[in-house]
Amino acid sequence: MRCFKRMAITVGILVAVFAASALPVAAEKVEVWFDAWWAPGPIVDMFKGWAEEFHEQNPDITVKVTPGYGGQAGHALLKAIAAGTPPDVAMFDGFQMAQWVEQGAFQPLDPFIERDGYDTDDIPVGLLDEVRFGGDFYVPAGADIYGLPGFGLNVWQLMWNKDVFREVGLDPERPPMTWEETLQYSDKITQRDARGRLSRVGIIPWAEGYQMLAYLWGMANEGQFISEDGTKVTCNEPRIVESYEWLLEFINRYGVDDLRRFEGGFAGPLAWGESPDCPLFVGQVGMAIEANMTVANIRRYAPTLDYGVGPLPIPKAGMKPFTLSMGVCVTMPKGAKHPDEAWEWIKFMTSQEQWADFYNDFTAMPGSLSASEAIMATEKDPHMTPYFEALSYGSTCPKTPISALLYQEMLSAGELIIALKAAPEKTLEDVRAKCQAELDAILAKYSK
């Protein structure tokens, strides 16, 4: 009897074990960490909405979105990568990618792209070149694409307040076409109060700094910051020097201290139009260099503004049009803990639906040819036309394994120049020498 009971218990246990093993095994729950270091608050909120939508489609994957805004957040990302505690997906400035790829911060996406047949032909060639590194002397062999580019793509164009133009007798439908005309328009618009202080300025072509002060005008003047073979820093060539001399024309006309005081009185930021008090909106400046995402902010903060958008003024009549087309890349840092799930989130972010969503909310140009065509087919706002047209001739910042260093040095040099603390030729030669030494050290590693 005891044997029978013991046998019955044993059989019962075995049946329970087999029955349990036959049950479907629940899939492992994974949390993907997405670091949106570039994005301001409203865009982070959009990403969080996307994360909820993605989770509904992929119940076993949740996405944690962490915000950050500006360069310090970018440095924090790089520190996390170096410490071995990186996010699974991160946004990073496309034009600085080369330097950090060379240092091993990001991993190639080729295995995922090839496995899933992701269509990279749908990415504008110039943007794809920004993150394509296979085969160059300074890039680890066996890799190619290190990020999906053009996320939150911005193209810089001239924007002007038509009411200001009318007030001073300028044709509101005709912006300045050349650098010389820009000076003439600016002189006509600029006003001073009874104390002789600037109360309105035509244009501040370096306002907010960034790529405008580092690269934009030198490249518009057909200057080349890096030699064709990538081995020489050429940021002191005459065309680039000339571009800073043009900026000094504004300083000499209006006074460095007067301009500094004038800018210090802005109630809102000029670039991006992120406030109802944007100086362009309220008529403190007549013209500004603004990106396409400013259009969304005009709809949000100044819907009655009568304004125009057109190509950047060129240095001399007959030169080719130019602008910078820049975006943030979606990357997978080296050491990401959940690469497969991270790739699913990257694909979701760069889907046609998400490109359209980003554009509808923020007029962010898509890094996708097919998405651009679909948006252009339905877009009724003529202010966006010059931005879409510029995609055919826009360029990205110089691609080099010292990209971050060159940018920071050029930005610092530009700030010194417009503050009248340094002469363009000497300052740019100093930048060239410093950056060349760093580039030579990197190249030497690959020549051994």
CATH number at residue 403: 3.40.190.10
Residue 238 lies in a domain: yes
What confidence tier does 102 reach under pLDDT thresholds 50, 70, 90? confident
Clarify whether residues 176 and 250 are in a common domain: yes
Whether the predicted pLDDT of 72 surpasses 60:
no
Token duo for residue 169: 């007798």
Distance between the two ends of the chain, CA-based, in angstroms?
83
Domain encompassing residue 406: 155-324+398-447
Residue 69 lies in a domain: yes
Clarify whether residues 213 and 302 are in a common domain: yes
Residue 3 lies in a domain: no
Which of 350, 365, 390 is the last residue before a domain boundary?
A: 390
Average pLDDT, the chain: 88
- Predicted local confidence at residue 195, as pLDDT: 95
Pick the residue with more confidence: 81 or 351? 351
| pLDDT tens-digit map of 33-44 | 999 877 778 899
| pLDDT tens-digit map of 366-383 | 989 999 999 999 999 999
Clarify whether residues 417 and 288 are in a common domain: yes
Clarify whether residues 167 and 190 are in a common domain: yes
Which of 390, 407, 428 is the last residue before a domain boundary?
A: 390
Residue 147 lies in a domain: yes
In angstroms, the CA 345 to CA 90 distance is 11
Instruction: Show the 3-state SS of the chain.
Output: CHHHHHHHHHHHHHHHHHHHHHCCCCCCCEEEEEEECCCCHHHHHHHHHHHHHHHHHCCCEEEEEEECCCHHHHHHHHHHHHHCCCCCEEEEEHHHHHHHHHCCCECCCHHHHHHHCCCHHHCCHHHHHHHECCCCCCCCCCCCECCEEEEEEEEEEEEEEHHHHHHCCCCCCCCCCEHHHHHHHHHHHCEECCCCCEEEECCCCCCCCHHHHHHHHHHHCCCCCECCCCCCECCCCHHHHHHHHHHHHHHHHHCHHHHHHHHHCCCCCCHHHCCCCCHHHHCCECEEEEECHHHHHHHHHCCCCCEEEECCCECCCCCCCCCEEEEEEEECECCCCCHHHHHHHHHHHCCHHHHHHHHHHHCCECCCHHHHHHHHHHCCCHHHHHHHHHCCCCECCCCCCCHHHHHHHHHHHHHHHHCCCCCHHHHHHHHHHHHHHHHHHHHHHHHC
- Predicted local confidence at residue 394, as pLDDT: 87
Strands 148-161 and 198-200: unpaired
Clarify whether residues 316 and 296 are in a common domain: yes
Whether the predicted pLDDT of 139 surpasses 60:
no
Name the residue with tokens 């406030």: 275
Clarify whether residues 358 and 242 are in a common domain: no
Clarify whether residues 408 and 260 are in a common domain: yes
Clarify whether residues 337 and 284 are in a common domain: no
Q: What is the pTM of this model?
A: 0.87
| pLDDT tens-digit map of 148-188 | 987 778 899 999 999 999 999 999 999 999 999 999 999 99
In whole angstroms, what separates CA 383 from the centre of its chain? Answer: 21
What confidence tier does 396 reach under pLDDT thresholds 50, 70, 90? confident
Clarify whether residues 160 and 123 are in a common domain: no
Clarify whether residues 299 and 362 are in a common domain: no
Residue 16 lies in a domain: no
- Predicted local confidence at residue 74, as pLDDT: 62
Residue 278 lies in a domain: yes
Q: Are the beta carbons of 263 and 199 closer than 8 angstroms?
A: no
Domain count, the chain: 2
Clarify whether residues 384 and 411 are in a common domain: no
Clarify whether residues 268 and 406 are in a common domain: yes
- Predicted local confidence at residue 134, as pLDDT: 61
Which of 370, 390, 410 is the last residue before a domain boundary?
A: 390
Whether the predicted pLDDT of 408 surpasses 80:
yes
- Predicted local confidence at residue 270, as pLDDT: 86
Whether the predicted pLDDT of 208 surpasses 70:
no
